[in-house]
Amino acid sequence: MTPESSSLAGIPALLAHALPAMVDDLARLVRQESPSADPAAVAASADVVAELGERLTGQAPERIVVDGRSHLRWRFGGEPSGPRVLLLGHHDTVWPVGSLAEHPWRVRDGLAYGPGCFDMKAGLVQLFHALSVLPGREGVTVLVTGDEEIGAPSSRGLIEEEARRSVAAFVLEASADGGALKTARRGVSHYEVRVRGRAAHAGLEPWNGANAGVALAHMVVALAELDEGPDGPTVTPTVLAAGTTNNTVPADASVHVDVRVSSAADRDRIDAAIRRLAPKVAGTSVEVLAGWAHPPLEPSASAKLFALAERAAGELGLEPLTGASVGGASDGNIAAGVGTPTLDGLGAVGANAHAPGEYVEIAQLPRRAALLARLVELVREQNR
């Protein structure tokens, strides 16, 4: 056995031995609830994540608070001076404080349950345990954000900054079905279409009004016609509002629109179509407001890293990997959006993200951590 093969064999063994500690660490993270909309809870969660990372790596993080939201960054080896590897995750969840009362932390039949365990606190446990078995961590950056679930409004700049300094980004988001890595993610764009009309009494003189609700109805139909189904861009009108009382011609109306695309070309095409919307009711006007957006993570951004992951899995004796394209966006979209090769879904194997019964397969924790550790080593070897 060569020294290299001996070292590779040691990674899964070390992490398998650490499995009880990994479960304990996951329990601590899950029991610290951290809904994105509660800055105090997210700050308390950052304390728990910081302790975990410092205990397993020997280095305290830099705590970064932006707009009241707590993010953590580790730069191993000091300030970036050469190619770096970015490990990306988040510690906020969609579960409000108090969810543990109805969905408590528990372990049963090889599965761990609890709010946020799958998306994505188990991924953070895997991340730091993977770093704990590396012979060196120079050139690795870890960024754990606290607002991913609401579109990364305060962490986007941090993600872009670290991604631009990195030759690869590995995202510890939960896996796709069956443990598949996420090799593509749809981009997301949110819009609000507002229509302004003119109020009038609906009984006495409705003809003197300009019905914003009717104008909006035409636009909602036009928006729905932009949708191309499961294999193309999806355009979904969501929240609609119009009018003030049941006997008044609506002066104002609005609709929120969720757009999902697989390519930058589709994004630009749909964006242009939405901005071309024009009212069909005389006396009304339209305004299109663009909300938060994530660029698509296209297959080309992950292809080389996925091939590297397949190599790492083979070297470690792990089960063959599969890849999947998914509709939801993550911080990985942001990293890929600045041109950094990005591979997502390296976190836990489990199911029911954001839903009752969310769970993680415990036996997969050390295996996925081993895969990440080897991936980091391979990228660093290729860039020395």
Are residues 343 and 309 in contact, defined by beta-carbon separation less than 8 angstroms?
Answer: yes
Helix (H) or strand (E) segment spanning residue 7: helix 3-17
In one-letter notation, the amino acid at residue 231 is D
Measured distance CA(125)–CA(48) in Å, rounded: 11
Q: What's the token pair of residue 53?
A: 């990372």
Identity of the amino acid at 262: S
The strand pairing partners of 210, in sequence order, are 198
CB count within 10 Å of CB 212 equals: 28
State the catalytic residue, choosing from 92, 173, 361, 377. Answer: 92
Rounded alpha-carbon distances, angstroms, from residue 209 to 194, 214, 219, 249: 17, 11, 19, 6
Q: Is 92 a catalytic residue?
A: yes
310 is catalytic: no
Which amino acid is located at 10 in the chain? G
The residues pairing with 198 across neighbouring beta strands, listed in sequence order, are 210
Beta strands in 146-180 (DSSP E): 166-171
Report DSSP letters for 39-77, one per residue: HHHHHHHHHHHHHHHHHHHS-PPEEEEETTEEEEEEETT
Helix (H) or strand (E) holding 275: helix 264-275
Among 350, 343, 307, 311, residue whose Cα is nearest residue 184? 343
Find the catalytic residue in 25, 33, 119, 148.
148
Question: Residue 85 corresponds to which tokens in the numbers above?
Answer: 């590897």
Who's near 236: CB < 8 A, 6+ residues apart? 227, 257, 258, 259
Nearest to 79 by CA among 62, 97, 92: 62
219 upstream amide cis, omega within 30 of 0: no
Integer CA distances (angstroms), 66 to 29, 96, 156, 162, 292, in order = 22, 21, 10, 16, 17
193-204 burial code (b ≥16 CB/10 A, e <16) = bbbbbebbebee
Catalytic residue ranges: 92, 148
